[in-house]
Amino acid sequence: MTRIEAGIGDLDTLDRLAAQDSPIHRLDPRAKVIATALFLLTVVSFSKYDIAGLTPLFLYPAVLLTVGLVPVRVLLRYLLIACPFALLVGVFNPLLDREIVVRWGGLGISGGWLSFGSIVLRFLLTASAVLLLLACTGYVAVCAALGRLGAPHLLTMQFLMLYRFIFILTDEGSRMVRAHGLRSFGAGRTTIRVWGSLAGHLLLRAYDRGLRVHAAMLARGFDGTPRTLRVSRWSLTDTAFVLGCGLFLALVRFGDPVDRLGSWCVGVFR
Amino acid sequence: MHMADALVSPSVGATMWAASMGLAAYSARRIEPEVAERKVPLMGVMGAFVFAAQMINFTIPVTGSSGHLGGGLILAILLGPHAGFLVMFSILAVQALFFADGGLLALGCNVFNLGFWPCFVIYPLLFKPLVGRQPSRSRILAGSMLGGVLCLQLGAFGVVLETLTSGISELPFGTFVLLMQPIHLAIGIVEGAVTAALVSFVWQARPEVIDLAAGERTGSMPSLKPVLVTLGIVAALTGGVLSWFASAHPDGLEWSMFRTSGSEELAAPADGVHASLAGIQERTAILPDYDFAAAEDAQATPAEEGAAWPAVRAGTSLSGIVGGSLVLLLAGLIGMSLRLLQRSRQPATP
């Protein structure tokens, strides 16, 4: 249960960050969703051996992080939790692809190491972009944006309900685990039979409470539309933000700023 | 079974997104509003339940995806296939957004692997006919076990195909399949047992819940045609337009096909794939420097493969390394100065 409870705490952290106020928070959620999508597409479109070409893209999370008032610590913690997946993907690339593609001084670097490095950078960029979108927008606002961008109504409603019910299920679950602990005096191991029964009853209890919660929501006028405190209208700033992001991404993708800056520097020092 | 963004190429990601969004729109239309109203609480609860079950996961070494219970079959059984698919979509979206578990671009792939097979293949074609109108304990057990194993096998195979066509992981097809399938066989057996236990529990305690699942629209069925046409157009567009993003390397689909065919099969059949691919490539070539001849030579003599690859671009040269570190430094500096600026402003505007 601890892992799940910790996860619930994480949900809460991001939502509290989203309640702050900053120029990024004030942007229309749709603009942020579109910009994030463009960013993700750009990151994954680089060649699998590209490392240097990806570096300018770190500007995007860096700016969002600082302007959006997201503590670096929080972001790093999330990335740390998620990174084993990305690392384990790439860690065998150096073993599988041992063709030396770069010779630098006496050191030969194989294609596998380059692609491994590239996978790690891609992971850092994509994961932080998504987490920052949420930390600067909030879950309900992202749902509303998806709905206004054309996602089916039932789907956005399900997004909202899932989020609400995760808390209900954890509530009921921790109550049952506590009750079980109190009645068994912490003695012995819980058998699989007991766990099975607990899981079944958890489902039914959560369902019953879910029915009451849903009825209460309907009584208060819930119609499945995500409602946020900050009412946003698409403004010129949003258009500028999306265009600016697009321009920046196109420049990084096609303009090759790293190579130019690098050769300029090397030229200066020669 | 969650795939990460780092492993998905834009064309694979976008195609699978289109497929999953199409299926979601289709599912939403197939559920009647009155039925949806009654189902909403159960959809929320089941979503939370499967969400929690999927959080107990582990990484499968090398493959870049995680092993955990799928839960798609239980959603399909207790909610009906269409609502089940929507719920699976929402679960994976929350995991991608909040935990960076499975990427946002890879969400389409993940939804397809974990949602499509159980909801639109296994449930209607296997579970429903097997269990029938009068479910019994043994029938539920048989249907759940068989269905659970098959769902995870198909899903895991989907992961293999999508990762290979993206061409970012170096893993050869054979090794990949040998890693994924047996692990998911074991998970599938557990999944089947859990599904059977929960479904028969609910069936005994609350049979009306399962009846509710059957209450989906059956009469006036909207045709699948618009969905299929849209999917076709989107697939063609992503194939054509997104290949602009492709670099000069033969990466992505072509690359992995060369690789796999090169290592798995011998010259003659590979040549066939080659010739036709090269033909398609010539017709659709957008990047003039897409050096297909070089790749073909590399294919013919695997030993020379490395040499035939075009020189790796920026990341390789000295200027690339210098430029890259400078840009990183610059990004950091810009971030830090922005923060300092904010701090200096803060006292003025509390």
- Over residues B79-108, mean pLDDT: 85
A167 with A141, same domain: the answer is no
Q: How many CB atoms lie within 10 A of CB B58?
A: 11
pLDDT at site B151: 92
A189 with A75, same domain: the answer is no
Q: Which residue has the higher pLDDT, A29 or B57?
A: A29
A159 with A122, same domain: the answer is no
Alpha helices in chain A (DSSP H): 2-18, 23-26, 29-45, 59-67, 72-90, 93-96, 111-137, 139-148, 153-184, 192-219, 236-254, 257-269
Q: Which residue has the higher pLDDT, A262 or B307?
A: A262
Does residue A17 belong to any structural domain of this protein? Answer: yes
Q: For residue B36, list chain A residues with Cβ-Cβ distance below 8 A.
A: 154
Q: Which residue has the higher pLDDT, B251 or B329?
A: B329
Percent of chain A at pLDDT > 90 equals 9
**Distance, CA of A77 to CA of A75 (rounded, Å):** 5
A138 with A162, same domain: the answer is no
> What are the pLDDT digits (tens) for B333-347?
777 776 677 667 665
Q: For residue B63, list chain A residues with Cβ-Cβ distance below 8 A.
A: 88-89
Q: For residue B202, list chain A residues with Cβ-Cβ distance below 8 A.
A: 200, 203-204
A64 with A121, same domain: the answer is yes
pLDDT at site B245: 40
A185 with A216, same domain: the answer is yes
If pLDDT is split at 50, 70 and 90, which confidence band does B233 have?
Answer: low
Does residue A99 belong to any structural domain of this protein? Answer: yes
**Complex ipTM:** 0.76
Burial (CB < 10 A; 0-12, 13-18, 19+), residue A43, is buried
pLDDT at site B205: 82
Does residue A119 belong to any structural domain of this protein? Answer: yes
Nearest to A125 by CA among A48, A47, A49, A41: A41
- Range with the poorest average pLDDT among A167-176, A225-234, B239-248: B239-248
> Which residue, chain included where needed, has tokens 């961008």?
A149
Q: Say yes or no for a CB contact (<8 Å) between A14 and B98.
A: yes
pLDDT at site B187: 85
Q: Which residue has the higher pLDDT, B59 or A185?
A: A185
Q: Choose the closest CB to A67 out of B47, B314, B338.
A: B338
> What are the pLDDT digits (tens) for B106-125?
899 999 999 999 999 999 88
- Range with the poorest average pLDDT among A32-46, A101-115, A191-205, B90-104: A101-115
Does residue A265 belong to any structural domain of this protein? Answer: no
CA distances (Å), origin B345, targets A34, B39, B187, B335, B348: 30, 51, 55, 16, 6
Does residue A40 belong to any structural domain of this protein? Answer: yes
- Over residues B202-207, mean pLDDT: 82
Q: Choose the closest CB to A92 out of B62, B100, B338.
A: B62
Sequence-ordered list of residues with C-beta below 8 angstroms from that of A6, at least 6 positions apart, any chain: none
With a cut of 70, say whether residue B218 has pLDDT above it: no
Nearest CA-CA distance, residue A113 and chain B, Å: 11
pLDDT at site B226: 56
Percent of chain A at pLDDT > 70 equals 89
Tokens of A5: 């409870």
Domain that holds residue A171: 152-227
Q: Say yes or no for a CB contact (<8 Å) between A261 and B247.
A: no
Global confidence as pTM: 0.71
> What are the pLDDT digits (tens) for A187-223?
666 677 777 778 888 888 888 888 898 889 889 888 8
**3-class secondary structure, B292:** helix
pLDDT at site B265: 34
pLDDT at site B222: 46
A30 with A104, same domain: the answer is yes
- Over residues B26-44, mean pLDDT: 80
Does residue A263 belong to any structural domain of this protein? Answer: no
Pseudo-torsion of CA B199, B201, B203, B208, nearest 10°?
-110
For testing contact with chain A, the best of B97, B206, B317 (most A CBs within 10 A) = B97
Does residue A156 belong to any structural domain of this protein? Answer: yes
Nearest CA-CA distance, residue B297 and chain A, Å: 16
Are B258 and A57 spatial neighbours (Cβ–Cβ below 8 Å)?
no
If pLDDT is split at 50, 70 and 90, which confidence band does A104 have?
Answer: low
Within chain A, what is the greatest distance between any pair of CA atoms? Answer: 78
Number of domains in chain A: 2
A93 with A172, same domain: the answer is no
A98 with A158, same domain: the answer is no
A51 with A142, same domain: the answer is yes
Q: Which residue has the higher pLDDT, B175 or B282?
A: B175
A168 with A67, same domain: the answer is no
If pLDDT is split at 50, 70 and 90, which confidence band does A260 have?
Answer: confident
Does residue A51 belong to any structural domain of this protein? Answer: yes
A9 with A71, same domain: the answer is yes
